[in-house]
Structure 1
Amino acid sequence: MDVLLDPFTYPFFVKGLIVATMAGGLCGLIGVFITLRGMSYIGHGLSHAIFGGFAASSIIAVNYYLGAGLWGLASALAINSVTKRRRIGADAAIGVITTASFALGVALLKFYGAKGPSFDAALFGSVLGITYTDMWILAGVFLFAGLVVFLNYRSLLFATFDPDVADVSGVRVARVDALLMLVLSMSILATLTVIGVTLVAATLVVPAVVARMLTNRFSRMLVLSTIIGATCGFVGMYLSYHLDVPSGTTIVLTGAAVFGAVMLITGGRRLQRAGQLDTHTA
């Protein structure tokens, strides 16, 4: 029993556990919209783009959250703009813009020296780098994301399933897309310290996919995905202490284990196209 409870005696681990739980829940919530829109790759791409801003903001002495956040948002809007105005697929636009940003971030790391962020921690997450400031920022982003979903639920729902009809019906799809990209960028930025650049995409996709296999109702999928993400964050962080591996790694592996178990139980029967979801909220 002492072995099981031993991690909770360390303040740094308790902070990490709280942040990992919130990060998992946040990614699970936002991941539903990203997954159903067929934009799973953008989570992976934006995390790489934000890494470029992460490096650049340190070089020019700008606050990390402000600099990297604006960089990520600009990258997301650039991807949308290139995709809509040119004969270039979204995957190609993401690949070019975000990979270039990531490469720039790696190149800039040589200027950090001892004062710069840990390369491994930025890539794979680290419980040791979590501060109380990180906790409050993540809590604020989680609250903001929840308010955005609550206040714009109908618009987000309509734009997710039929953006063309939504646009004709008076929904400002461009505004909704920009708002979603803002929330996604903020979510990735806030969870970067615990999950890492290379693994955050999985925390966006896995909870939503598992929830999709468990329900055909959109509103229920939002709730389930948030709970699954938070649970994977909690369990993954706890396992990271005992296994002595990066927190992001164990969180993703926990999610993968949950996905495998649900797939075996359900046979993936409910993992269908987004358009076949029951979108009623009652």
Structure 2
Amino acid sequence: MLSADIASPAWSWDLVGDFRLMWSYPFMVNAFRAGAIVAVVSAAVGWFVVLRRQTFAAHTVSTVAFPGAAGAVLLGVGAVYGYFTLCVAAALVIAALRGGGDREESALTGTVQAFLLACGFLFIALYKGLLGGPQAILFGTFLGITAHQVTVLLGVSVVVLAVLALIGRPLLFASVDPQVAAGRGVPVRALSVVFLVLLGAATAEAGQITGTLLVFALMVIPAATAQAVTARPAASLALAVLLACAATWLGLIAAYYSPYPLGFFVTSFAFAGYLLALGLRALRGLLGRVRVPLPAEEAAR
């Protein structure tokens, strides 16, 4: 979405010229760089989110990203700092609440979500400067991505991926069978807290591309698609990263040539891939039920 007052560029059959023109704008170069960084981190963390069945936690953290960004703008600092501060804080709160019962945890989380969302809209209303409304924060945009923001995203991504690689094997063990992992001496509780912090950082990154309401487009859908295609951890994780990058870059191209929000396109491409994966799995299962006669059976006939 370029602007409400500027018509979107027209697509032509000169694909090379179209891409050269698109990448001649610094904000589009920054958008593709940031998109690649965010896609890789979101897919890697999201793969464990799906495996650990913590999609509700990801939704909770993404929800509080909106008041974090709005509050940072109100205070006169970059929205990126608001994203990371409140998302990581929310992840720590969720980690603290996980010690209680599921019912108490859900009630407290829902209450905090509702209050913080109301605070976010209050911050938007109190802001007296030039702000295009909450749409960009909620549904994503690529216009505000600067070179400094790309640098911040890259720095955070390196830290997140390094920590995830360090705890990857015990985290996989604890995610598949936490009771056996605890019996083998794996620090399941500590791993859960560290992973939730990584989830907060990854959600803050993804929210700047897809918007805070559509974080699942990069955090959950590619990972769910990859795990529907293959059960091999390494292949599934690599496929999730490829799908997230494809959805992000295709979404950026589509948003550049249309007046609609970036988050809509990223979500649509990711969801289309998920539906395709489910269709292929159903077809594979249907073909597997078709019994092929063995040569000995054919000879007996």
Normalised-by-shorter TM-score class:
0.7 to 0.9
1:28-107 counterparts in 2 under 5 A? 28-60=43-75, 64-88=79-103, 91-107=106-122
For the pair 1:19 / 2:41, whether they are aligned, the reply is: no
Q: Which of 246, 250, 256 is matched with 1:241 structurally? A: 256
Q: Quick check: 33-42 or 138-147, which moved more?
A: 138-147
3-state SS of 2:231 partner:
coil
State the match for 1:212 in structure 2. 227
Work out whether 1:146 is the aligned partner of 2:161.
Answer: yes
- What pairs up with 1:148-163 in 2 under 5 angstroms? 148-163=163-178
- Cα deviation, residue 130, structure 1: 0.5
Q: Deviations over 1:180-218 (max 9, x none)?
A: 111111112123222111111231111001101221111
| Alpha-carbon distance between aligned partners in 1 of 2:238 and 2:116, rounded to the nearest angstrom | 33
The one-letter amino acid paired with 2:257 is H
Unaligned runs of 5+ in 2: 1-13, 286-301
Match of 1:169 in 2: 184
Mapped contact 1:83–1:93 kept (Cα < 8 A): no
CA contact 1:15–1:130 (8 Å) conserved in 2: yes
Q: Structure 2: how far apart are the matches of 1:269 and 1:94?
A: 40
Identical aligned pairs, as a percentage? Answer: 25
Q: Please tell me the residue identity of whatever aligns with 1:261.
A: L
- Name the count of aligned residue pairs: 270
How well do the aligned residues superpose, as a CA RMSD in angstroms?
A: 2.3
Instruction: Check the 8 A contact 1:22/1:233 in 2, yes or no.
Output: no
Matched, 1:128 2:136: no
> TM-score, structure 1 length as denominator?
0.86
Given that residues 48 and 99 in structure 1 are in contact (C-alpha distance below 8 angstroms), is that contact kept between their aligned partners in structure 2?
no
Q: Are residues 268 and 154 of structure 1, via their aligned partners in 2, closer, same or farther at CA, if it must alter by over 3 Å? A: farther
State the TM-score, normalized to the length of structure 2.
0.81
For 1:112, which of 111, 127, 133 is the aligned residue? 127
**How far off its partner does 1:76 sit?**
2.0
